[in-house]
């Protein structure tokens, strides 16, 4: 058998045959028009996804009722007025040869947007685990209306030319809220034991089935396990599987968790292995029997092929991987695995950007995603001589995009390695994949024919003599060095020395600074056996636990027995200890073998003034402009290249 024979084989269900078993799962984009119609940006995004040759594409969450929205710009299907745009959407989804399904969605109480407007509804008036506010309890009339709305929206999907529909019954949205005892405490026929709580789902499925007919595939995306304390389990789901099949479900799309579950498991961080959730899909498949779609941080087609070949699932979903590289399947078909940009599971541009920032979809390491109508196809009308100073995420992204557009590009790097601060950021536990990415990006730049001059700081005489047309300043950030008495002690180091492994972490270590650099340094030291104490002057952690990475860092340090103290400032360092101030009271701490300063970074952009003085066109990007995340660095690097 070939390496991808199972994944690339066709699959048939009722009236639909998909050409291969790779699935683009539904992912909210925030790219629709404000009125819920399909925008040019959404159509361009979905057309780009279709070009990758995926067998089955499922639309983003499509609202079936006005009170079910979770995004201000969310695709909708609650009225016939949406049909023209939905027809356009189905057409572009078909453009790559795959089949198209529309996902039917109602957010229930898990919508900051609806809660703020006072329109959120749910099975019981219990507060959202994410947003902390309760919805209005649904009446029986509400239930009847929403059940009917699912059916009407499904009929519109068929009329618009979709090949199937998927009911969103996962991730804490309305259907999950009925399934869960945490959110459903009704005393009528829609509450009680698990099967009674599933009655709403059964009625939704029957309504959809009645609207689309017997030959039209109906998929159900369900959290196979709630993955939360006192939540339902996959064994509970197995008890209602016969009823789901009997009601009209043809395929189960087996996800896991809710947006209120710990660790951000619905968009699992790199701490979770590729395929970590497959066992739940397999359990459902064997109990059915019913075809299943497996999902679980897949960023390489080969393990997905193995899952199908072993009979554990019938299809495999590649969600964030598709945002990261829409061409992953095409490249795999050609045996170009080294050219696949693999998702690093950072969640910066996708789920966290949408949920916590209220912005449209991006990808932290693929600037094209969500920017399909902005990104120029090239070539540039006026090719320019472009110098890029710095080879971190912003600089390398700018270099690749500028070269793609036909500019004469040279990258200058003062260090002996490319990658900038990613070389340090990849050292925390489970972040090794960040190093894989930055090395991939550097290779892509070199393979494109861009020279990278290592150990070559850009100087004023160089600029004066060679005078490039444009300089992109991507020099990154530099460490902050606070003024503290005793900083010259021989046992005082900084985070870069520890993470750069020029200094080994000692047995007892005090980390000063509780931001991302401090937390990751503390985790790095703890993983190597250090007893870690961390102090931070802010009253609470600046690394939020509601992000998947933040949750993982806090959990790792807690399990390692680290002591985290907030609201504490380092006043001085002595040969045998430190003096800190907490809540206005000074304390003397001793028994530390090392004090590690990790108070953050500031922009490094000393070239900017000279460039401005000499009237050399320039743009400052990434941490050189303002210290932030990979997401901002790559987007600014790409935009700088696009606007040349």
Domain ranges of the chain: 11-357, 385-479+603-642, 492-599
HSE of 316, CA atoms in CB hemisphere, 13 A = 34
Residue (of 279, 183, 196) closest to 236 by Cα position: 196
C-alpha distance across the termini of the chain, in Å? 48
The partner residues of 582 in beta bridges, in order of sequence, read: 568, 585
> How far is the C-alpha of 12 from the C-alpha of 260, rounded, in Å?
35
Asked whether the predicted pLDDT for residue 44 surpasses 60, the reply is: yes
> How far is the C-alpha of 574 from the C-alpha of 571, rounded, in Å?
10
pLDDT category at 272 given cuts 50, 70, 90 is very high
pLDDT tens, 433-477? Answer: 999 999 999 999 999 999 999 999 999 999 999 999 999 999 999
CATH number, span 11-357: 3.20.20.70
Q: Phi-psi region for residue 229, left (φ > 0), alpha (ψ -120 to 50) or beta?
A: beta
45 catalytic residue (yes or no): no
Segment 533-559 shows an average pLDDT of 92
CATH superfamily of 492-599: FAD/NAD(P)-binding domain (3.50.50.60)
Segment 84-93 shows an average pLDDT of 98
pLDDT tens, 609-641? Answer: 999 999 999 999 999 999 999 999 999 999 999
> How far is the C-alpha of 527 from the C-alpha of 169, rounded, in Å?
39
Pairing of strands 315-317, 292-294: parallel
- pTM for the whole structure: 0.95
| Residue reference for tokens 């407007």 | 117
Query: Where are any strands of DSSP class E within 484-576?
Result: 492-494, 508-512, 531-536, 563-566, 568-574
Domains 11-357 and 492-599 share a fold: no
> How far is the C-alpha of 22 from the C-alpha of 57, rounded, in Å?
9
> How far is the C-alpha of 86 from the C-alpha of 328, rounded, in Å?
26
Q: Could you please state the CATH topology (level 3) that the domain comprising 385-479+603-642 is classified under.
A: Rossmann fold (3.40.50)
Are residues 113 and 71 in contact, defined by beta-carbon separation less than 8 angstroms? yes
3-state secondary structure of 332: helix
Are residues 257 and 227 in contact, defined by beta-carbon separation less than 8 angstroms? yes
Asked whether the predicted pLDDT for residue 1 surpasses 70, the reply is: no
Segment 169-197 shows an average pLDDT of 97
Q: Which residue out of 173, 424, 434, 556 is catalytically annotated?
A: 173
Q: What is the mean pLDDT of the chain?
A: 96
pLDDT category at 576 given cuts 50, 70, 90 is confident
Count CB-CB contacts under 10 A for residue 206.
16
């Amino acid at each position: 058998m070939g390496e991808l024979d199972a994944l690339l084989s066709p699959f048939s269900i009722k009236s639909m045959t998909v050409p291969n078993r790779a699935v683009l799962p539904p992912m909210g984009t925030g790219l629709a028009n404000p009125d819920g119609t399909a925008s040019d940006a959404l159509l361009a995004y979905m057309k780009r996804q279709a070009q990758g040759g995926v067998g089955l594409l499922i639309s983003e969450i499509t609202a079936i009722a006005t009170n079910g929205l979770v995004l201000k710009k969310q695709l909708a299907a609650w009225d016939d007025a949406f049909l023209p745009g939905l027809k356009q959407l189905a057409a572009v989804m078909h453009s790559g040869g795959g089949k198209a399904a529309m996902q039917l969605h109602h957010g229930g109480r898990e919508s900051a947007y609806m809660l703020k407007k006072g329109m959120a509804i749910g099975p019981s008036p219990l507060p959202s685990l994410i947003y902390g506010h309760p919805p209005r309890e649904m009446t029986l009339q509400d239930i009847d209306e929403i059940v009917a709305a699912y059916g009407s929206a499904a009929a519109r999907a068929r009329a618009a030319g979709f090949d199937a529909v998927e009911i969103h019954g996962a991730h804490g949205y309305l259907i999950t809220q009925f399934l869960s005892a945490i959110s459903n405490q009704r005393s009528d026929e829609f509450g009680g034991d698990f099967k009674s709580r599933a009655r709403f789902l059964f009625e939704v499925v029957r309504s959809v089935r009645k609207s689309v007919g017997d030959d039209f595939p109906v998929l159900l995306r369900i959290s196979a396990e709630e993955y939360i304390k006192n939540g339902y389990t996959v064994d509970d789901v197995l008890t209602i599987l016969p009823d789901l099949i009997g009601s009209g479900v043809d395929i189960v799309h087996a996800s896991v968790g809710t947006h209120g579950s710990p660790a951000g498991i619905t968009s699992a961080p790199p701490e979770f292995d590729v395929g970590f959730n497959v066992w739940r899909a397999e359990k459902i498949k064997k109990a059915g029997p019913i075809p299943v779609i497996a999902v679980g941080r897949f960023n390489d087609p080969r393990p997905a092929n193995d899952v199908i070949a072993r009979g554990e699932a019938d299809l495999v979903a590649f969600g964030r991987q598709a945002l990261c590289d829409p061409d992953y399947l095409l490249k795999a078909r050609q045996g170009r695995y080294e050219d696949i940009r693999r998702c690093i599971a950072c969640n910066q541009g996708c789920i966290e950007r949408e949920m916590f920032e209220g912005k449209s979809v991006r990808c932290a390491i693929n600037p094209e995603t969500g920017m399909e109508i902005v990104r120029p196809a090239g070539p540039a009308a006026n090719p320019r001589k472009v110098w890029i100073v710095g080879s971190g995420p912003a600089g390398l992204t700018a270099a690749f995009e500028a070269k793609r557009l036909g500019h004469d590009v040279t990258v200058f790097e003062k260090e002996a390695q490319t990658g900038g601060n990613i070389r340090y950021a990849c050292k925390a536990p489970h972040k090794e994949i960040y190093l894989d990415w930055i090395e991939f990006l550097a290779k892509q730049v070199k393979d494109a024919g861009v020279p990278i001059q290592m150990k070559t700081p850009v100087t004023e005489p160089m600029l004066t003599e060679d005078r490039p047309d444009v300089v992109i300043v991507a020099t990154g950030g530099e460490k902050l060095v606070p003024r503290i008495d005793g900083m010259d002690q021989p046992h005082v180091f900084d985070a870069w020395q520890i993470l750069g492994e020029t200094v080994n972490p000692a047995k007892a270590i005090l980390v000063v600074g509780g931001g991302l650099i401090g937390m990751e340094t503390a985790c790095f030291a703890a993983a190597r056996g250090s007893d870690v104490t961390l102090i931070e002057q802010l009253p609470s952690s600046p690394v939020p636990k509601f992000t998947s990475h933040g949750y993982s860092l806090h959990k790792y340090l807690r399990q390692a027995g680290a002591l985290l103290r907030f609201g504490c400032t380092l006043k001085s360092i002595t040969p045998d200890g430190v003096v800190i101030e907490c809540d206005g009271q000074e304390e003397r701490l001793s028994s530390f073998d090392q004090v590690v300063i990790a108070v953050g970074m500031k922009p490094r952009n000393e070239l900017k003034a000279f460039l401005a003085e000499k009237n050399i066109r320039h743009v400052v990007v990434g941490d050189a402009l303002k210290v932030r995340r990979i997401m901002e660095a790559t987007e600014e690097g790409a935009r700088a290249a696009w606007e040349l």
